[in-house]
Amino acid sequence: MNEQLTILLVVVPLMIAPITALFKSHTISWILTAIVSLTSLILSFIILFDVIDGSHVIYELGGWRPPWGIEYKIDSLNAFIALIVSAIACLSTIFAWQSVPKEINENNYGLFYAALQLCLLGLLGIALTGDIFNLFVFLEISSLSSYALISMGRSRKALTAAFSYLILGTIGATFFLIGVGFLYAASGSLNIADIATRFSTFADMQLVMTGFIFILLGLGLKAAIFPMHSWLPNAYGHAPSVVSIFLSATATKVSIYVLIRVLFDLYPVAYWQALLLPQILLVLGCVGVIYGSFRAWQQVELKRLLAFSSVAQIGYIIIGISLLNNDGITASVMHLFNHALIKATLFMGAGIILYRTNTTKLSELRGFGGSMPWTFAAIVLAGLSLIGVPGTVGFVTKWYLLSGAIAQGKWIVVVAILAGSVLAIAYVWKIVEAMYFNSKRKMVIQNVKIGDINLAKAPFSLSLALWIGAAGCLYFGLYTELPYQSAQSIATALLSSEVAP
Amino acid sequence: MIEYILGHINYWFIIAVMMVGLYTLISRTNLIKKLAGLAIFQTAVILFYVSLGKVTGGTVPIVDEAYTLYSNPLPQVLMLTAIVVGVATTALGFALVIRIKEAYNTIEEDAIFTLDQKDHE
Amino acid sequence: MMINDLILRVVTKWLSPIIILFALYVQFHGDYSPGGGFQAGVIFSTAILLYALTYGLDAALKVIPETALRVAASFGVLLYGGVGVVSMLLGGNFLNYSVLADTPLAGQHIGIIVIELGVGITVAAVMILLFFTFSRRVDPE
């Protein structure tokens, strides 16, 4: 019975999303979305506790045995990613109760929530599947729904942002498809485990290396690794608040998960170590950290600042992967979880500010933090996690990353990480300063109807979601047992899979 | 050398179509032409997969008593899915172009960029 | 001009049912020859599109109202997922057609036909919906 629960993670959104698209009322669509995200969360927990001791759950779709059929092979890494995606979906759904009626046109409620559920379906499918073409299909499902979701933003710049994300994302997915085609031509199979076991029989074909480069380029575009990150600031800056929260915390993380799968499970590590790929990834990661943090410091608008900060954090994860020791990969896997939590909290704070003042430009937020002290405290807490202050989740990641870098003797990396943290202090201080200190000009609230009472306090559901996120940042920073144990076992499993069974 | 090129001539044509698609995508500033380039690029990838599946001397993969050697049906089936994905992407792109035209009154990329810059101040 | 308009209208009136019939032929021959859900759905939508292009959008909306299209699009996906759920309830894995009937062969036949029907309905409905939505937003010149 437990096996059937794994496929329910994909079937439940698949069946409920078309029903949601038919309704126009906000309440019904929201309730259906809440059912879907709650079910996914519970199922991910059950699956995670099933596989955390190192066993696998194997599910054959349609009863066809692999390698002819599609199989879902779930180990701790899959379950971990599924848990992250479901948890962020639950947080976004709580947040959406009051944020969506304010930002989305009222004819589109059902379609908006249906697109959100389809995005969740795609991301969960990527997290679970063990067949590489099935992964492409789910990748495209999640990407197409995110293009539609981003275009529902309020300003017209959301449309151009969604269009440029569509072009770049489709190029990335098509490159991934070309790489998969080359790999299929070389190996004759589409099953990840099957390709990995038989890899030595076709490893010397030029096809395999070209396919590898295409897959890497495609995934790099999707994961916004520097220098292929140009779609990210516009897309996350102009999207509706719920969409920014959900996508910034999950979409790039899942693409990095696919990258980890390709680098460690599909191709043996020795293959791409000879290509100098770890060094290239290291350089790209370090430059990404410094570039992202520097551009974030320059921004004048809150959501764009947070989006550039995402580019920097993805750079940290890439550094961790390229270090190729236990500490580095543990730090990367944990940062997938930590950054999802931190970014979701920060974007939720930005959403609350947008809800109450209709603007997110830092220059117009002078002193606003004084009138919402608890929200401001949560934003500051998440900002401290971003910097890496001890006691918060960000610190755990930076600690293991630094110890991994020192163990390998790469001092440039240590300098880059510390420089990134210093720049993070700079741009978090920018946010804090904008919200805390009054200026001589009184704050102007934009586009408010007369008699609007929304400025009294932050609405309940928004604050609830924000404080769940902020509490998570603090809790998992002090009691790191659950994420650390999972990340440790995942890292050991990934590094030891070089020895083909 | 010549036999190598002539033996793989289908792949050379596919690469040519792919490059035409990519070039159109990058060099044209009209949004609809960009989408056309994207569609050509995806079509080239579909052609590539289908021509991978051809077995020398094999016939179409429909079961019939008279034939014993068939081409590989798996790439063709995979490409059905990829064609649908391409259609959905193109449809979404055109919907976005229609809304951009309503919002900006132009679909030239540099005109949209200048309008956005003016919005900033 | 008048004569060209007349030829178009007459030919459309005769051709549209034939195109729909051909779409159904392609749909149900997906088991034995090239065909299946997606192709059949697109051909079906071509018939309605031809009618809409010749007679105008309002006439086409009288043939198929838009709410019916939205319900049909959702119904096709639910049919597809429903077959999978039914096979899970009958004991097999998701989308295992062999458990749907007494013999595995009959089960495979039933499963494939129903799934392709779902795909065909959704694709036809979505294609027609796309055309109607686009043509309503772009002003006729």
| Confidence at residue B118, expressed as pLDDT on a 0 to 100 scale | 84
Domain ranges of chain A: 277-501
What is the CA C32 to chain-centroid distance, rounded?
19
- CA dist B48 and B76 (Å) reads 10
- CA dist B42 and B59 (Å) reads 26
- CA dist A172 and A143 (Å) reads 11
> How many interface pairs between A and B have CB atoms less than 8 angstroms apart?
64
Asked if C93's CB is within 8 angstroms of A60's CB, the reply is: yes
- Give the B window 2-61 contacts with C, CB below 8 Å: none
- CA dist A389 and A394 (Å) reads 7
- CA dist A270 and A498 (Å) reads 8
| C28-68 per-position pLDDT tens digit | 888 778 888 899 999 999 999 999 999 888 888 998 898 99
SS3 A74: strand
Mutate to test the interface with B, among C108, C126, C130, C131 (most CBs of B within 10 A): C130
Per-residue 3-state assignment (H helix, E strand, C coil) for A18-49: HHHCCCCCHHHHHHHHHHHHHHHHHHHHHHHH
Domain ranges of chain C: 2-137
Please state the φ and ψ torsions of residue A272, each to the nearest 5 degrees: -95, -5
| Confidence at residue A193, expressed as pLDDT on a 0 to 100 scale | 85
Asked if C34's CB is within 8 angstroms of B98's CB, the reply is: no
- CA dist A145 and A246 (Å) reads 12
Q: Does B36 touch chain A (CB under 8 A)?
A: no
ipTM of the complex: 0.95
> How many interface pairs between A and C have CB atoms less than 8 angstroms apart?
46
Non-local CB neighbours of A472 within 8 Å, separated by 6+ positions: A341, A345, A393
pLDDT tens string, chain B, 121 residues long: the values are 888 888 888 899 999 999 999 999 999 999 999 999 999 999 999 999 999 888 888 888 888 888 888 888 889 889 999 999 999 999 999 999 999 999 888 888 889 989 888 876 5
- CA dist C50 and C62 (Å) reads 14
Would you list the DSSP string of C65-127? -HHHHHHHHHHHHHHHHHHHHHHHHTTS-TT-GGGGSSSHHHHHHHHHHHHHHHHHHHHHHHH
Residues of C in contact with A4 (CB under 8 A): 88, 93-94
| Confidence at residue A500, expressed as pLDDT on a 0 to 100 scale | 37
Asked if C74's CB is within 8 angstroms of A21's CB, the reply is: yes
- CA dist A77 and A163 (Å) reads 32
| C72-108 per-position pLDDT tens digit | 999 999 999 999 899 888 887 888 888 888 888 888 8
Asked if B104's CB is within 8 angstroms of A156's CB, the reply is: yes
| Confidence at residue C56, expressed as pLDDT on a 0 to 100 scale | 87
Quote the tokens at residue A251.
Answer: 């979409």
Quote the tokens at residue C107.
Answer: 């089960």
Asked if B80's CB is within 8 angstroms of C33's CB, the reply is: no
| Confidence at residue A501, expressed as pLDDT on a 0 to 100 scale | 36
Q: Does C98 touch chain A (CB under 8 A)?
A: yes
Which segments in chain A show pLDDT lower than 50? Answer: 453, 498-501
Q: Which of the 8 DSSP states describes residue A266?
A: I
pTM above 0.90, yes or no: yes
Those chains having 3 or more beta-carbon pairs within 8 angstroms of chain A are B, C
- CA dist A169 and A426 (Å) reads 31
Q: Does C105 touch chain A (CB under 8 A)?
A: no
Non-local CB neighbours of B12 within 8 Å, separated by 6+ positions: B5
Query: What domains can you pick out in chain B, each with its CATH number?
Result: 2-120 (1.10.287.3510)
Non-local CB neighbours of A452 within 8 Å, separated by 6+ positions: none
Those chains having 3 or more beta-carbon pairs within 8 angstroms of chain B are A, C
Nearest Cα to Cα of residue A88 among A80, A76, A77: A80
How, if at all, do strands A57-60 and A71-74 pair? Answer: antiparallel
- CA dist B76 and B2 (Å) reads 29
Which residues on neighbouring strands pair with residue B108, listed in sequence order? B30
SS3 A55: coil
Q: Nearest residue on chain B to C128, judged by CA atoms?
A: B91
Which residues on neighbouring strands pair with residue A40, listed in sequence order? none
Q: Which residues from C are below 8 Å from B when comparing CB atoms?
A: 32-34, 36, 38, 123, 130, 133-134, 137-138
C-alpha separations of A108 from A181, A280, C64, C122 in Å? 38, 45, 22, 20
Those chains having 3 or more beta-carbon pairs within 8 angstroms of chain C are A, B
Residue C116 in this model has a pLDDT that exceeds 60 = yes
**Nearest beta carbon to residue C96 from set A14, A17, A63:** A63
Mutate to test the interface with A, among B74, B92, B102, B105 (most CBs of A within 10 A): B92
Asked if B100's CB is within 8 angstroms of A184's CB, the reply is: no
Mutate to test the interface with C, among A3, A12, A22, A159 (most CBs of C within 10 A): A22
